[in-house]
Structure 1
Amino acid sequence: MALVKIDCPHCGIAHVAANIAWQEGNPSGKLFLARCGACHLPISGRAVNTAGYDTDFVKSVGDITHDYWQIRQTWPEIVSLSAPEHTPASVAKRFIEGEEAYQRGNWNAAVAMYRSALDIATKGMDGVPPRLTFYQRLQWLHEEHRITPEMRAWADHVRIDGNEALHEPDEFTEADAKPLRLFTETFLKYAFELPGEVSRYREQTEPPPPE
């Protein structure tokens, strides 16, 4: 069976082997339908031929791109993952790694990366005392009116702190990762994106200081 190596828009795995099940077109270009070898969800695409001869994708064996076919477009399109704007680079890196793991359904890795993003974010915020646990940092931020009471209370209902690993299951599920993902994204928006946008607005609207 013919296959194509593409980046799966569903599970996020790069260069995954997808089996081609359907084709339509001519020797110069074809539409095709394939199934991801990892998550088994369908991917459609458009391929062009630079060699000038036809190939029956369905009856071929191996990677069709080795026969001078080039994949020019796939559907659904891959959505670029990003962290909320103005998030520090070290925090954004962990959050995006969590998003990649979440997209693949790797819940253990997703939980670990979201926790790491929150840990680094709260440690790096101005004025936060050193050597505090994550929850102590949250309490300090709440007392200093840096986060809302709702966010402080929300944290108590989300499995954030990884210090008590002995009391946790070996495997996390989507039910663990989903609320943590939402809390992490909301926290980063409130802590970094909102202040950054306010600062940007002020820079654009306030008159320059007198010379």
Structure 2
Amino acid sequence: MALIVTTCPHCLSEKMTMNCIGGRGIGSMVANLLFECGGCRLPVAAQAIDHGQRANNIAGLNLNLSDEKHVQIAVWPQLTMSSAPKHVPPRVAAVYISALNSTRKASDADEGARHVAGLALGKALEMGLRAYDPTVKGMLAARITALAKQGKLPGDLADWCQQLRAIRNEATHEDDALSMEDLDNFAKAIETIFMHLFTMPGMLLELQGKQVP
């Protein structure tokens, strides 16, 4: 059967062997194929153009879709790399991206991976708030309160940060890991906060012709 060895666009597992679980030939040389990631079990679709074999006989296909000399291939979904919002400090961005990748690699069936992802997202939030104003000291709750009192965090955003802090504490101290839905919402919330703290001020400086620190 056909197979492909590639990085999974869902869970980011590298050099993952994906076996073909179905397909249909189009004409004599083109085949639409469906693969399953050996890690996360999510589907990956591909269209292959095989030179010299009968694509209309799916059961008889023996395509090495990793061999570009024999097969032209398009794969969906395309692999996209995680990224941080613009103007987030490099160290914070690196931790945030690593946390996003941990979230993408997690699954409902893997509680350990979900636990790691929750811890990583909490670390990214904490580092982001520390980088925003290094002069504010104390535990995360105290820093959020201080930033709000100084007018550096709007009230609604400060309340949201406190809610995320509670989620971080749950990820750190509770036995049960966060669900995939909670992890996805956690990541999206951090992205929104980083855009407020770093992206929008940086864009304003750019519009004013000033250098972004």
**TM norm structure 1:** 0.78
Amino acid across the alignment from 1:184: I
Structure 1 residue 119 displacement after superposition: 1.6
Structure 1 residue 96 displacement after superposition: 1.3
Q: Give me the whole-angstrom Cα distance separating, in 1, the residues matched to 2:120 and 2:9.
A: 21
Q: Deviations over 1:88-136 (max 9, x none)?
A: 1111111112222222334222212211111211222235234x11111
Alignment partner, residue 110 of structure 2: none
- Range with bigger deviation, 82-91 or 105-114: 105-114
Matches within 5 A, 1:52-91: 52-54=51-53, 58-59=59-60, 63-65=64-66, 68-70=69-71, 72-91=73-92
The structure that has the greater radius of gyration is: 1
Q: Does 1:12 align with 2:12?
A: yes
Q: Does 1:187 align with 2:186?
A: no
2:119/2:168 contact within 8 Å kept: no
Amino acid across the alignment from 1:143: K
**Taking structure 1 as reference, are residues 186 and 64 closer, same or farther at Cα in structure 2, changes over 3 Å only?**
closer
**Taking structure 1 as reference, are residues 190 and 80 closer, same or farther at Cα in structure 2, changes over 3 Å only?**
same
**Taking structure 1 as reference, are residues 13 and 71 closer, same or farther at Cα in structure 2, changes over 3 Å only?**
farther
Among candidates 125, 129, 132, match of residue 125 of structure 1:
132
**Taking structure 1 as reference, are residues 71 and 142 closer, same or farther at Cα in structure 2, changes over 3 Å only?**
farther
2:4/2:66 contact within 8 Å kept: yes
Among candidates 160, 184, 188, match of residue 178 of structure 1:
184
Matches within 5 A, 1:78-157: 78-105=79-106, 106-130=113-137, 132-157=138-163
Cα root mean square deviation, aligned: 2.9
Question: Mind listing any 5+ residue stretches in structure 2 that lack a counterpart?
Answer: 107-112
Q: Deviations over 1:146-172 (max 9, x none)?
A: 11111111233333444994x412433
Question: Mind listing any 5+ residue stretches in structure 1 that lack a counterpart?
Answer: 205-211
Alignment partner, residue 40 of structure 1: 41
Amino acid across the alignment from 1:117: A
Percent of paired sites with the same residue: 21
2:114/2:178 contact within 8 Å kept: yes
**Taking structure 1 as reference, are residues 62 and 118 closer, same or farther at Cα in structure 2, changes over 3 Å only?**
same
